[in-house]
Chains A and B, each alone.
Chain A
Amino acid sequence: MFYSDDKKQYSVLNRRTFLLYLLKVSFFGIVGWRLYNIQIKDSQKYKTLSKNNQIDVEIIYPLRGIIYDTNKKILASNVKVFDVYIIPENTKNINKSLSKLNQIIRIDFSDRRKIIELSKKVKKFEKIKVLENINWSELEKIEANKLNIEGIFISQDYMRTYQFGNTVSHLIGYTNKPNREEVELPFITNMPDLEIGKDGIEKSFNPNLVGKSGQREIEVNSYGRVIREISRQDSQRGNDIQITIDLRIQQYALNLLKEHKAGSAVLMDINNGNILCMASTPSYNPNKIIQKPNKKYWDSILANELSPLTYRCIQGLYAPGSTFKMVVAIAGIVHGIIDTNTKHFCSGKIGLGDRLYHCWKNNGHGSMNVSNAIKESCDVFFYEISKKIGIDKIARVAEDFGLGKIYDVPLPNQKKGIIPSRDWKKKKYDESWYPGETLISAIGQGFVLTNPLQLAVMTSIIASNGKNVKPNIIKKNNDIEFEKLEKYHSAIEIIKSSMFKVVNESSGTAYNSRSTSAPFAGKTGTSQVRRITVAERESEDFRKKEVEWKKRDHALFVGYMPVENPRYAVSVVIEHGGSGASTAAPIAKEIFQFTKNLEI
């Protein structure tokens, strides 16, 4: 019989079925509770994971543009280097791998400890940098032993390299990681680890040199591991830059400067304002700043009291001394105070108010016209004429000749210097101008401060018969024509003939530096760094005495070459070099001769 009526069996079955049902309901309850935990309690956590899950954009950093000199010599480029990494998940024993690596290249025990500590913190598929910038022989050794060292891998990178080390360091600058403010700069955009220019051309041309980042869209899971690449857009290398510096002249000038503790030399092409040489000593080696660790090197730079980081060509401010006299003379001629025949008698000193103003030549020059006054650098002549010209007129001419200005050239941190005037003093010190200060200013002392580039520009303007020469550091293909300041033309002719005599006539201050192979004209300058006491002045030989280096005068020389149709203008400043005639002029001569030889 198919159908049954066994009550006893049915009651057992009913009971069992009921128990089974209870079991099932409770299992559904467990599953429901689990879903509650995931979907309600921990929902926020999973929502975050879900967002991170998905697509990540990885930045491909661009290569920085190359910097060339005027002859296409590479001054800064990117050199392939090799870094050694370790991936924790690829080695059973990270400590063992590191000590094996240590047998090939020494890794400090403390560095190894740091890497091991780090490996515990980061995700184990993340690579950790062990060694940076290893050389070829080390690379070969590691490659040969790669199979024995678990978990390491070598990756190629690029490092900014400056082929000529400290020769153009101030001008080119160096790169480094951006600091907190710099991260906001627009060209960095999405590249927080980008090495950016920190000084010089590297800094000024960051937007050009940086290039464009590329990107890789990658799908990552919630743990950050890359699953696959979705798309790739390669980065674009930054633009190259060619500067006007001629490396050969730069190197030559720097070698001359290195005989002295500190100084600078600027050489300009008058026709187009191109700066051919802008050497400053002491300098630093940017490669040593870029290669980590660099702390020792930094400390040594910062401890050096000559401050190697200072770019003396644009950041060194010096009293121009007698090199300022051309400006005063031009002001005198232009304003009709003097002409070529105007004479003043130099007795070695003049009095104004209750003070005496001395000429550098204690016994005096005797009767002087403007030409002789420049040739022999007579101070009294300029004291006399400045009293009549007045400081404000001198200041205006000085500014027309490029002094007291920051130039529109991509050189960061130029120092403006000071061209004093009545207004200036009122603003600065809230004091009125004293007549004696005009006298001091007329011989380029006192308040007057200029940087060597300004002196070179001033010389260029004189040499070009008053063309408003503007300095230029980036090589341009088209020649530029500077406007001419016609009002100075006749005055400049007088001054130029005087400057010729400075170097080429026997009583000229720079006669000893005259050149037959590259005749040039110029003006010496010796700027005092301290006040000379009356007692010292009275002792006959105070200028000949050996004085402590820091107390010695700065030596200056400005000049141009050739004498007819000048092409080059130079300014040389040797800090505490003694006198312009003995220290600065010979360097200018060497530079002129070297440059002339290059032309052939």
Chain B
Amino acid sequence: MLNKIQNLNYLLIFLVILISFIGAAGLYSAAGGSYNPWASRHLIRLVLFIFLAIILALINIKFIYQFAYIFFILSLFLLLSVEIIGVFGKGATRWINVFGFSIQPSELIKITIILALARFYHDLKFDEIKRIKNLFFPILILFLPFALVVIQPDLGTALSIAMLGILILFASGIRIWKFVLGFFALIISIPLSLNYLQPYQKDRIFSFLNPEADALGRGYQLIQSKIALGSGGLTGKGFLEGSQSYLQYLPEKQTDFIFTLIGEEFGFIGTIFIILLFLLLISVCFYISIKSNHIFGRILSVGVGSNIFIYVIMNISMVSGLMPVVGIPLPLVSYGGSAMLAIIISLGLVLNAELNGNLKKLQNA
């Protein structure tokens, strides 16, 4: 036990804390130089979730392996119940109350998808992977939550689930041509899925294509967020000096658009520093994956790393106008409990995979 604690990957834990502290600084600034209401809670959550993650890291990986499908099905039910509440209750929602906590199941499902897929490929013999019929189960694992999230409707999460699935399937070693096929299927499905989109989602896509068309309305966020980033320049306006956010120009500055606030106050140096921290975090996950002596750990670590990658890329692309505004937070930086919980817990799983990664090492210990 003590040995395990000693062998924890402290670089990864340090990165989580560092990025979360940057997030707290951003939230402090977003509140106009106040810990309330966001920064203080953000830090409390950090402490709580890291504690949770370390506990998770210390339990036997076989236990997690055994419960992978159960976790997936449980989270799927949570997602479904959000759907049902949405239909019979107070309209569209993404939240559910679990033991007094407000939780967004769509954030948790990504982790259980990774677990389920990791278990599936762990169980599958390598030769079997080529068979088409063995694509059925992973695609089902992806499709069920994807469909539920799409009708929620939560475009960003749906997209990130699809991307996550593609990346994990790729990492698990299935044939490249199947990806080409899958890619075309995705392209074809875009116009079809447009029909399912809510008017506000269509607006977002159209405003992405031409933000100046309606600077006050739909394109507003995007323009303001670019102004915030751009006016930061190389070194930024300085901590607490960002005028865009104080003048209420930045909408949702504490959640999805926190990156632009940091970009305005700390400039290009600040934004690149954050990107490098995330790259380092993902690199650590991938390193753990390659070191791992079991497929479950490998897929798990690649999956978690990819999940963080998807969050980061989608968020930054969104605020810098590379893709439509879809509502994806920046991991560990944006305010919001569910996403933070999902990210830190998933990193706890990666820590676990590393601790249990090498049989020889375990035996030597």
Contact = CB atoms under 8 A, between A and B. Distances in A.
Interface of A: 2-6, 8-9, 12-14, 16-17, 19-21, 24-25, 27-28, 30-32, 34-36, 38-40, 42-43, 45-47, 49-50, 53-55, 219, 221-223, 225, 227
Given A39-B230, A219-B247, A221-B223, 19 more contacts: A4-B294, A9-B173, A13-B173, A20-B286, A21-B282, A24-B309, A28-B275, A28-B312, A31-B275, A34-B320, A35-B229, A35-B268, A35-B271, A35-B272, A38-B230, A47-B231, A49-B230, A221-B215, A222-B224
Contact of B172 (A13, A28, A223): A13
A46 B229 contact: yes
- Listed from nearest, the 8 A-B pairs whose CB atoms lie closest are A46-B230, A50-B231, A39-B268, A9-B126, A223-B215, A43-B233, A3-B359, A12-B173
Given A2-B62, A21-B286, A47-B230, A227 B302 contact: no
10 contacts: A4-B293, A8-B126, A9-B173, A17-B290, A24-B305, A38-B230, A39-B263, A42-B230, A50-B231, A227-B216
B216 A39 contact: no
B271 A39 contact: yes
B227 interface: yes
A50 B170 contact: no
A223 B224 CA distance: 11
B48 interface: no
Given A2-B65, A43-B231, A225 B215 contact: yes
Interface residues of B, number: 59
A190 to B, nearest CB: 22
Interface string B155-172: 000000000000100111
Most chain B CB neighbours (cut-off 10 Å) among A2, A19, A34, A40: A2
A225 B226 CA distance: 18
B198 interface: no
A40 B167 contact: no
Nearest to B268: A39
A571 to B, nearest CB: 65
Given A35-B268, A43-B230, A53-B247, A4 B223 contact: no
A455 B1 CA distance: 118
Contacts of B293: 3-5
B317 interface: yes
A582 B151 CA distance: 102
B348 interface: no
Given A24-B282, A35-B263, A39-B268, A49 B322 contact: no
Contacts of A25: 279
A179 B212 CA distance: 37
Nearest to A36: B268
Most chain B CB neighbours (cut-off 10 Å) among A13, A19, A39, A55: A39
B316 interface: yes
B10 to A, nearest CB: 22
A21 B126 CA distance: 22
Nearest to B313: A27
A14 B244 contact: no
Nearest to B360: A3
A235 to B, nearest CB: 26
B306 A20 contact: yes
Most chain A CB neighbours (cut-off 10 Å) among B170, B173, B227: B227
B249 A47 contact: no
Interface in B102-125: none
B255 interface: no
A537 B16 CA distance: 118
Contact of B302 (A17, A46, A55, A219): A17
Interface of B: 61-62, 65, 126, 167, 170-173, 212, 215-216, 220, 223-224, 226-234, 243-244, 247-249, 263, 267-268, 271-272, 275, 278-279, 282-283, 286, 289-290, 293-296, 298, 302, 305-306, 309, 312-313, 316-317, 320-322, 359
Contacts of A19: 170
Given A3-B293, A20-B171, A31 B320 contact: yes
Contacts of B296: 2
Given A12-B173, A13-B173, A32 B230 contact: no
Contacts of A34: 316-317, 320-322
A39 B233 contact: yes
A225 B247 CA distance: 15
A49 B248 CA distance: 15
B344 to A, nearest CB: 20
A43 B232 CA distance: 7
Contacts of B322: 30-31, 34
Nearest to A27: B313
Contact of B226 (A3, A4, A16, A46): A46
Contacts of B231: 43, 46-47, 49-50
A92 B324 CA distance: 27
Given A9-B126, A31-B316, A16 B294 contact: no
Contacts of B312: 28
A223 B173 contact: no
A124 to B, nearest CB: 10
Contacts of B212: 223
Contacts of A31: 275, 313, 316-317, 320, 322
Given A38-B320, A39-B233, A50-B227, A221 B220 contact: yes
Nearest to A12: B173
A4 B295 contact: yes
B227 A46 contact: yes
B247 A17 contact: no
A532 B47 CA distance: 114
Nearest to B317: A31
B306 to A, nearest CB: 7
B247 A54 contact: yes
Nearest to B362: A3
A25 B306 CA distance: 12
B215 A53 contact: no
B171 A32 contact: no
B282 to A, nearest CB: 6
A222 B223 contact: yes
Nearest to A15: B173
Contacts of B232: 39, 43
Given A21-B283, A49-B231, A53-B244, A16 B173 contact: yes
Contacts of A225: 215-216
B328 to A, nearest CB: 13
